[in-house]
């Protein structure tokens, strides 16, 4: 598996993963607009040996953030169903945290469905802590979100685990 910055040509596969993972997925248009924003950093995980038709690497996961004044809003952490449970989200998050730190991010925030135990465990493994709840944050189906935060000074442990 290779984790790298998302390119415009990755957008169709990223949008397909969104459709599979989220009840209100981003469109290709939103991904393209986001990639054009200099405050964004989006990554993909791709297989290195499993090429699709036409020689395009298969994208199996995505994640990213928007950096506003040193605060990163993490979003779109998604892994194709067939690849879940194999550490891909964790590996992507470590790379995302590293990229954020290199871009001057001091604090990372994210929201996660309160019932998404595997994701919560992954974020906690990366050093995120639950700081609050957003009631009825999600629709389709309605659900609360946990607000999780990671301070940049807490990433020393994360960077050691990254290597």
Q: What is the pLDDT of residues 20-30, one digit of tens each?
A: 998 888 999 99
3-class secondary-structure state, position 16: helix
This prediction has a pTM of: 0.88
Give catalytic status of residue 123 as yes or no: yes
Position 55 scores a pLDDT of 57
What is the set of domains in the chain, with CATH numbers?
Answer: 2-162 (3.40.630.30)
| Rounded Cα gap, residues 2 and 46, in angstroms | 5
Using DSSP bridges, classify how beta strands 107-113 and 57-68 pair: parallel, antiparallel or unpaired: unpaired
| Rounded Cα gap, residues 94 and 92, in angstroms | 5
Predicted confidence band of residue 160 (pLDDT cuts 50, 70, 90): very low
Give catalytic status of residue 111 as yes or no: yes
Position 47 scores a pLDDT of 86
Is the torsion defined by CA of 122, 12, 21, 26 positive or negative?
positive
| Rounded Cα gap, residues 83 and 69, in angstroms | 34
What's the mean pLDDT in 11-37? 93
Q: Which of 31, 42, 123, 138 is catalytic?
A: 123
3-class secondary-structure state, position 12: helix
| Rounded Cα gap, residues 60 and 44, in angstroms | 7
Q: Which of 18, 95, 111, 138 is catalytic?
A: 111
Q: What is the pLDDT of residues 42-101, one digit of tens each?
A: 999 998 655 555 555 689 999 999 999 999 999 999 999 999 999 999 999 999 999 999
Longest dimension (CA), the chain: 46
For 107, how many CA atoms within 13 A lie in the half-sphere containing its CB? Answer: 10
Mean model confidence pLDDT for the chain? 89
| Rounded Cα gap, residues 105 and 67, in angstroms | 7
Task: Take residue 21 and report the two structure tokens written for it.
Answer: 């993972």
3-class secondary-structure state, position 73: strand
What's the mean pLDDT in 96-108? 95
| Rounded Cα gap, residues 86 and 89, in angstroms | 8
Position 56 scores a pLDDT of 55
């Amino acid at each position: 598996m290779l984790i790298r910055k998302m390119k415009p040509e990755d957008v169709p596969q990223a949008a397909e993963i969104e459709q599979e993972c989220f009840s209100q997925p981003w469109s290709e248009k939103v991904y393209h607009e986001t990639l054009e924003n200099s405050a964004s950093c989006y990554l993909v995980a791709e297989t290195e040996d499993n090429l699709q038709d036409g020689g395009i690497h298969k994208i199996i996961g995505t994640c990213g953030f928007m950096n506003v004044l040193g605060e990163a809003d993490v979003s779109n952490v998604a892994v194709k169903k067939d690849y879940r449970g194999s550490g891909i989200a964790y590996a992507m998050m470590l790379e995302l945290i590293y990229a954020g730190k290199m871009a001057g991010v001091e604090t990372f925030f994210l929201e996660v469905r309160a019932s998404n135990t595997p994701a919560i465990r992954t974020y906690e493994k990366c050093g995120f802590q639950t700081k609050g709840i957003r009631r009825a944050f999600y629709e389709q189906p309605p659900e609360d979100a946990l607000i999780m935060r990671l301070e940049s000074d807490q990433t020393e442990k994360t960077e050691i685990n990254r290597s």
